[in-house]
A and B are shown apart, each in its own frame.
Chain A
Amino acid sequence: MNLLLTLILTLGFLLGTPDGPDDEAKARRGTFALTNARIVTVTNGVIENGTLVIQDDKIIALGPNVDVPADAEVIDCSGLEIYPGLIDSGTQTGLIEVGSLAETQDARELGDLTPQMKALTAVNPNSVVIPVTRVNGITTVITQPSGGLLPGTAALINLHGYTPEQMHVGDFEAITMQYPVTGRRGRWDRRSDEQIKKDAEKALKKLNDAWDQATLFAQIDSAYTANPETGRRPEYVPAMTALLPVLRGERPLIITVNAAADIVSAIEWVEERGMDNVIFSGLAEGWRVADQIAEAGIPALVGPILSVPTRESDRYDKAYANASLLHEAGVKVAIRTGETENVRNLPYHAGFAAAYGLGKEQALRAVTIVPAEIFGVSDLIGSLEVGKQANLFVTDGDPFETRTQVQHLFIDGYKIPLESRHTRLYHEFLDREPGLMR
């Protein structure tokens, strides 16, 4: 029995998973040449047998006939595939450590109108969740506050770095809004339909009042900025100040909205205000009003895909098919998990979307180049192209297939050890010492 176990263990290590012989404790940069690989660029097709060269933070060359720089560390990727790092368009990574412990949670501030609260401030770069997530090929996430109507400012972060600044991608930040909800908040929500309607109306009024004030505030601020000598300086109102870039179209507004009626209402809300830098998030019932979303031209961060339908009368697979139905209607679709500790399941959310109509290619785009475009950082990340940030991972197969193993991982040019609490516990306890004492 012991011999068998040893054999299995040895085999496991030889197969090189989850950490191969190149596993190291610390991330490092340098010049790396990934040779003989199947390179899935996402934006420029697939290179069946090519080389990709990383220098410092960037991809400096890729193609079928690329010269390997003399100083490059060569990583033979025969039989392996390279993909751009996956992007999750809606998480609370780094903001919540343990789901039930308030002391470990920084996703929510007091009050309903707190757009000035910045997720980037509270992201814990040393969260145990981060390595657990990235070893599955997720290199980049939107991390966002929650609670109230204007929960705060979301940020796009890479899942490596020791300061929030090092993690921040393309300086992308967005104000988040929770559109007033006319659905139930879960199976425990037993308010009457009437009460739900009342609560939503009240919330919408509060939101509109705040928005009108912010619009006025922006006018005052603009007038003052045009004539600082003669004008009167506006009062310090932090929430209003935080909304200025959104009102001026300089910063996107991510609106979380899920019920069909709320989506339609949110579209009207956006159009009435003439806003053109808006992104929808969630969209659990997006498929019901897909044409209207498409017509409004608002991009969508859809998910979680692994979710139950919103109504008992709905077909069982509507949440799986939602991304596909929206895409077919012409909506620009990125995928989000809405997760914290299991953002690592993003490839599986994408895989289910693929299986239920979206197709593998479009599903891959929905977790790479499409979100990069939506967040305005497609010059930096989202595909394998020369000049882009080296955010990529190497697999032994289809990145959405559950059994597939990640073999190498680069974030911002750093070669990241494929280690996490989960792998460390595995190695410690697979054949524990001391064994049974009895």
Chain B
Amino acid sequence: MTTRRSPFLPLSSFFILLLFLVLPAQAQETGDVLIQGGTVLTVTNGTLENTDVLVRDGIITEIGEGLSAPSGVEVIDASGMHVMPGIVDAHSHIAISNVNEATSPVTAQVSVGDVLDPYDVALYRALAGGVTTSHVMHGSANVIGGQCETIKHRYGVTVPDLLRMDGAPRTIKFALGENPTRVHGRGSNVVPASRMGVEFVIRKAFTEAQRYQEAWDRYEAEKDRNPRAIPPPYDGRLEVISDILNNEIIIQCHSYRADEILMLMDVLRDFGVKRINFQHVNEGFKIAKELADFGASASIFSDWWAYKFEVYYSTAYNAAILVRNGVVTSINSDSGELNRHLYHEAAKSQHYGGLSEEEALSLITINPAKQLGIDERVGSIEVGKEADFAIFNAHPLSIYAVPQKTIVDGIVRFDINDDPDDMRLSPDPEQAIETAILWSKEDNHQCLHEEEEALDLIDFISGQ
């Protein structure tokens, strides 16, 4: 299918150009640095003792022993430290001002990339846990939710667009099971109210997008010989779904039960859709062989379970079973608490199922990078890759490991020795002391409640 052009494009390009002239220049920053003498956990090429890593303009240019720093390049002494690739969190809801467009079972036209919030201190707190890339997702209220955004933790920038990882593949949220059936079926008396309805909603949307695409293809074919040909009405929602069908967008599907995951793979086969990463996938272990056979990947919790009925039949050995059966697996946070210690969450795969160090580290680096289509750029320490690192005072899979420095594009964005207590970018001058937020457990389970209205949740928590 050819890309359709908006008639306003030339005009809008002009305005975009104008914006660039007016906005204060806050260009993409990259750094030069030599990380010296660390134990380098490359993830893809083993562990290198006493090794230096040279970074120029935000890219790894050299890995070896006894490298010297070119003039003007800052040196970080990493002797006695462990250097690993920056952690990639494949499921996050930080740094956005909205999570759900819960007004319809299908909202492919919206994007959380439009509501990025660079001031969110959660970006920094995750950095302090070694996270450099997050996949910021739409919520799970809708069967086909909004588009997601892959961002880098460039905490300190204030222009939202500078958080974006430019060139990262487009992704979109799907959601199966309890959440969309509760919100739409039971909440608004709109299909789906059951897992049958969920399948129907997807098939219907895909079929409508196919028809839409055919109509445009007919028009494109006709317009050259018939100048009076009338284009079909433009539909932003079906545009996006067409792109899914053309494998231009990676589906990121919130899912728990084995049956619903099998269902979606069947639907995708019928429509020729190949790129899918299942999110949560608590029952992925039951159908690990089918996932591997399809080429689907799985981004899971290390050990969350029993917080709702569809995760009651879970096992913390999920990662081990998936990995042993050949599924590209990652461990994600879905939480502003958990994303601060994903290195520990990955280590749980050693406790539950005895994964090797490299396998465990892959769960939070190269594997999530593969699932987001950015593994050529991040997720391991290799020459040519982007200079994202997490530096620890011990092996990151040890419970006693404390992150020391986190580097994004060659720039130190977290330093345990240099950062003051208050790392907010924009404190409220009218409020000297903020009211304490006493985090409840519900806050940590974002997928459970992300679709709830704020007031409902307060009632829920306080029992009113």
Contacts and interface: CB of A to CB of B under 8 A. Distances in A.
Interface residues of B, number: 73
A400 interface: yes
Interface in B314-352: 314-317, 320-321, 324-325, 336-337, 340-341, 344, 347-348, 350-352
A184 B125 CA distance: 20
Contacts of A193: 435
A44 interface: no
Contacts of B353: 426
A306 B293 contact: no
A187 B437 contact: yes
Contacts of A314: 421-422
Contacts of A351: 399-400
A291 B462 CA distance: 31
- Among A12, A188, A191, A431, the most chain B Cβ lie within 10 Å of the Cβ of A188
A183 B350 contact: no
Interface in A283-341: 284-285, 306-308, 310-317, 338-341
Interface string B424-464: 10010000011111111111010011001011011001110
A100 B285 CA distance: 23
Nearest to B350: A403
A143 to B, nearest CB: 15
B454 A403 contact: no
Contacts of B121: 312
Interface stretch (B158-166, B302-310, B362-370): B302-310
A50 B433 CA distance: 55
A212 B305 CA distance: 43
Given A308-B125, A356-B402, A313 B427 contact: yes
Contacts of A341: 305-307
Query: Which secondary structure dominates chain B's binding surface?
Result: loop
A434 to B, nearest CB: 9
Interface stretch (A114-122, A224-232, A386-394, A417-425): A417-425
A310 B315 contact: no
A404 B336 contact: no
B286 interface: yes
A101 to B, nearest CB: 6
A147 interface: yes
A423 to B, nearest CB: 7
A306 B436 contact: no
Given A401-B398, A429-B288, A100 B308 contact: yes
A311 B428 CA distance: 13
Contacts of B452: 188
Contacts of B288: 429, 432
A140 B423 CA distance: 39
B291 to A, nearest CB: 10
Contacts of A356: 402
B436 A284 contact: yes
A5 B292 CA distance: 15
Interface string A392-417: 00000010111111000000000000
B401 interface: yes
B278 interface: no
A146 B458 CA distance: 16
Interface in A96-121: 97-101, 108
B128 A311 contact: no
B344 A181 contact: no
A120 B160 CA distance: 52
A421 B313 contact: yes
A348 B452 CA distance: 30
Given A351-B399, A422-B315, A435-B289, A313 B421 contact: yes
A313 B429 CA distance: 13
A355 B317 contact: no
B66 interface: no
B237 to A, nearest CB: 29
A5 B324 contact: yes
B312 A98 contact: yes
Contact of B436 (A258, A339, A348): A258
Given A260-B436, A429-B286, A108 B317 contact: no
Interface of B: 121, 124-125, 128, 178, 285-286, 288-290, 293, 303-309, 312-317, 320-321, 324-325, 336-337, 340-341, 344, 347-348, 350-354, 397-402, 421-424, 427, 433-443, 445, 448-449, 452, 454-455, 457-458, 461-463
6 contacts: A100-B309, A184-B438, A186-B443, A313-B427, A342-B303, A432-B289
